[in-house]
Amino acid sequence: METTPVDVSPEIISFLRTVGLDEVPEYLPFTSVSQFYLPRYCLNNCEEEVKAGGRVIFGWVVWEDRGAGFIETEFHSVIERSGKLADITPRLDGEEFILFVSDKTRSPIRIDERTWDTWTNIKYLHGKVVLMCEKIQLHDPSDSYEASRAQRSKT
């Protein structure tokens, strides 16, 4: 089962370097800043949160299944304020921390209210990249985030 890595192993560093991620990964706890932010909506959450100050930092969450020799990165966004990173997106899986590495070369683009141009996950198995990231359009067909946005505007 994939989970936050216990430590930043040499294999994780090798994987990150192989896919062009040279920044130092760091563990970030969840920082609750709004009851209206939703799991899996990091791009929207950060877009909204940056209105209160700071800037959005794009990068990757690192997941690992050490027993299976599997590492995966998932495109993600966090907030930077006063030089400190904060992961403001709630988690569904109960993870207390994420391992995050920033990416200064990739940025998503908002297409419309429900769609982002973003990136697929990168997968690494037994020392080899088996799936490299590609650009995708991520479309939210539900009204979940729009309902959350409407609720925020009422308060």
pLDDT-derived band at 152 (thresholds 50, 70, 90) equals low
Burial class (CB in 10 A: 0-12, 13-18, 19+), 52: exposed
- Kindly list the distances between the CA atom of residue 123 and the CA atoms of 60, 77, 103, 114, in Å, as whole numbers in the listed order: 12, 19, 16, 26
Helical (H) or strand (E) element with 65? strand 55-65
Reduced to 3 states, what is the DSSP secondary structure of residue 74? strand
**Gap between the Cα atoms of 14 and 30, Å rounded:** 26
**Gap between the Cα atoms of 8 and 148, Å rounded:** 35
Q: Which residue has the higher pLDDT, 138 or 100?
A: 100
pLDDT-derived band at 121 (thresholds 50, 70, 90) equals very high
> Within its chain, how far is the Cα of 150 from the centroid?
24
Query: Following CA atoms 46, 49, 52, 54 in sequence, which dihedral angle do they give, to the nearest 10 degrees?
Result: -30
Give the pLDDT of residue 135.
94
Give the pLDDT of residue 93.
87
Whether the per-residue pLDDT at 48 is higher than 90: the answer is yes
